[in-house]
C-alpha cells in the first residue's frame, strides 16, 4: 500500500502510522450504540403459517448437501467457489 495522507495533507509511509491513521478514521465514523432497535415492519402477511419452527442442521445433512454442489456454478454471496466447499 502506498502512502496515506491525513486531512492536513501529511503523508504517512510507516506501517504503524498508516494503521493508526486508518484506525482513527474508522473510529471517527462509528456511532455509540444507544440500545434502541429501529422499527421493523412485518414482511409476511398476517395468517401465513411458518413451517420452519424446527430446523435441524446435522453434520451428515450438511455434508450430503455439499456433495451435491455443482462445480460449474458461480460463487455464492460469500464469494467462495463451490469447489472449495465440495473438497
Express as a percent the part of the chain with pLDDT over 90: 25
Q: What is the pLDDT of residues 51-80, one digit of tens each?
A: 776 788 899 988 888 888 887 777 778 888
Supply the pLDDT for residue 85: 74
- The confidence score (pLDDT) of residue 5 equals 92
pLDDT tops 80 at residue 87 = no
Q: What is the pTM of this model?
A: 0.37
- Cell 503523508 -> residue: 11
Report d(CA 71, CA 85) in Å as an integer. 10
At residue 60, φ and ψ (nearest 5 deg) are -65, -45
Core vs surface per residue 14-43: b (16+ CB within 10 A) or e:
eeeebeebeeeeeeeeeeeeeeeeeeeeee
3 phi and psi angles, rounded to 5 deg: -70, 150
Amino acid at each position: 500500500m502506498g502512502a496515506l495522507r491525513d486531512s492536513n495533507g501529511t503523508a504517512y509511509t510507516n506501517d504503524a502510522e498508516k494503521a493508526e491513521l486508518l484506525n482513527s478514521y474508522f473510529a471517527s465514523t462509528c456511532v455509540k450504540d444507544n440500545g434502541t432497535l429501529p422499527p421493523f415492519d412485518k414482511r409476511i402477511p398476517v395468517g401465513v403459517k411458518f413451517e420452519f419452527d424446527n430446523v435441524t442442521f446435522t453434520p451428515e445433512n450438511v455434508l450430503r448437501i455439499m456433495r451435491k454442489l455443482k462445480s460449474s456454478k458461480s460463487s455464492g454471496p460469500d464469494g467462495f467457489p463451490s469447489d472449495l466447499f465440495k473438497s
